Amino acid sequence: MKLLRTLIIPAIALGIMMVGAQSSFAQCAMCKAAIEASSDAAAASRGLNLAALVLLIPPVTIFAGLFGVFYHFRNAQEKRERPHTESY
């Protein structure tokens, strides 16, 4: 069940992002000028949007990794302070 939940939640999030993804007009002024000056503006725009997504991968991966480590060790201090009780 835990593995299924681990796979389904990211798949649903990815699906929502893909449905909501449309061409973006939110480039900076220099990027917009470079696209407007190119002969094939559609291809340049796609390339620029892909580059922005590729540059977004490392920070998101680092954040997710740190969040996972913090979540995994969230009760480590409490477990260390609690004395071990033996049950008979």
Question: What are 19-69's pLDDT values in tens digits?
Answer: 766 655 556 788 778 888 888 888 888 888 888 889 999 999 999 999 999
pLDDT at 3: 74
In angstroms, the CA 44 to CA 34 distance is 8
Q: Provide the number of structural domains found in the chain.
A: 1
In a domain, 57, yes or no: yes
In a domain, 6, yes or no: no
In a domain, 3, yes or no: no
pLDDT at 38: 84
Backbone angles phi, psi at 54, to 5 degrees: -65, -40
In a domain, 63, yes or no: yes
Residue whose structure tokens are 């009760």: 75
Q: Which domain holds residue 55?
A: 27-80
In a domain, 48, yes or no: yes
In a domain, 31, yes or no: yes
pLDDT at 22: 63
pLDDT at 21: 65
